[in-house]
């Protein structure tokens, strides 16, 4: 999963961009917070991918 794919999934499930510092974007929804490193062309670390997937599944 790339950062762009993760970003699109989060935005579709009511997360919003809270802030950005350098290459890291922080998305929030109620009390949840997820930080996505935006290193173009690279896949995200599996732990970050799993965190995004579990947050998306909670919203369904």
Instruction: Give the model's pLDDT for residue 23.
Output: 94
Mean pLDDT of the 39-59 span: 91
CATH number of 3-58: 3.30.920.30
Instruction: Give the model's pLDDT for residue 44.
Output: 94
Residue boundaries of the structural domains of the chain: 3-58
pTM: 0.87
Indicate the burial class of 30 (C-beta count within 10 angstroms; 0-12, 13-18, 19 or more): exposed
Instruction: Give the model's pLDDT for residue 26.
Output: 97
**Crossing angle for the helix pair 3-12 and 46-58, nearest 10 degrees?**
10
Instruction: Give the model's pLDDT for residue 10.
Output: 95
Task: Order across the sheet with 16-21: list the strands.
Answer: 16-21, 24-29, 32-37
Mean pLDDT of the 9-35 span: 95
User: CA 44 to CA 60: how far, in whole Å?
Assistant: 23
């Amino acid at each position: 999963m790339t950062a762009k794919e993760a970003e699109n999934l989060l935005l579709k499930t009511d997360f919003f961009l809270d802030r950005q510092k350098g290459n890291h974007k922080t998305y929030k929804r109620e009390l949840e917070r997820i930080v996505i490193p935006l290193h173009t062309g690279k896949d995200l670390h599996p732990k970050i991918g799993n965190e995004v997937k579990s947050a998306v599944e909670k919203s369904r």
